[in-house]
Amino acid sequence: MSGFFYDSENDNQNFTSIVHGVCPRSLEFLPFNIDNVAVSDCCNGLILCWCLRANGYCYIVCNLMTQNFKILLPSTHDVGHAVGEARLGFDPIASLHFHVIEYVDVDVVCVGVEIYSSQTATWIYKDSEWGEDTDVTFYRQPSVFLNSCLHIMGHSGEYPMILVVDMEENIRRKIDGPSGLQHSMHQALGHLCVCTVGGPNDSKLSIWILEDYGIDNWTLKHTVTTWILFERINIRFGFPDFVDGDIVITVHPEWNLIFFAGVDGTIIAYDMDRISACVIPA
């Protein structure tokens, strides 16, 4: 991972490089007004964009390095869509083809998914099998593409769930989330990873790993008291529901690092091995 896109609290999209000398290339090579292009998701080097044009919206999957892109036909389900909330699935080790997943929303309930396959260049619709009381949590929630499945945070009643869509099999699965509040899901060292908060004043950050993908048994990997840690660099800690705090952006997929975005635009990297934090230079 050389860097990442993230949303600031005013919904502006930003890119931060974590490798010296790596700078983002512009999306201006796309055949659209750049003001009408929004980054919806990123996955293993590909970027999914939502683009507004005169005759409606479309999705584009592009590669910044090669400037290759593919314009997708709009999905065909005529009931309802969570437009702009699509997610991208791509694993170049398993296949050179990608998938785009759009959650079909009717009356604020996810009733199914539309799945686009670059191999067939078509969309297919699948009804939800997660249950009537289960829904997707969209707001600033990252998705994880792992084991040919897309994972996104959701809830079943009042309980947090990870909702799974299998690209190869006609399977939808629910994974119980670990204990704690304000779940934020990521990928770390080839496993699902969830960050939660708890303790007095929600000051304890916990990092959970799903080591055995076949069972819902989370392992607590790391905990830290955030106010002690971040007091050194004078920042506050928060999750997406707390607009006045810092937001967990992502967990590095290969290193034991967590990245936060501060309300002032500061990017902080926390090293779980060294139990230390530092500001990433702009």
What residue spans define the domains of the chain? 1-174, 177-282
Q: How far is CA 49 from the centre of its chain?
A: 14
Per-residue model confidence (pLDDT) at position 228: 60
Tokens of 125: 């619709």
89 pLDDT above the threshold of 80: yes
Per-residue model confidence (pLDDT) at position 62: 92
Neighbours of 111 (CB within 10 A): 18
**CATH classification of 1-174 is 3.30.420, yes or no?**
no
- Rounded to two decimals, the pTM is 0.77
Q: Higher confidence at residue 73 or residue 10?
A: 73
273 pLDDT above the threshold of 50: yes
Q: Quote the strand ranges of 107-227, DSSP E.
A: 109-117, 122-127, 134-136, 143-146, 149-156, 159-166, 172-176, 181-188, 191-198, 204-210, 219-225
Amino acid making up residue 111: V
What is residue 232's three-state secondary structure?
helix
- At residue 8's C-alpha, the angle toward residues 6 and 11, to 5°, is 100
**What is the DSSP secondary structure assignment for residue 202, as one 8-state letter?**
G
Query: Distance between CA 154 and CA 164 in Å, rounded?
Result: 10
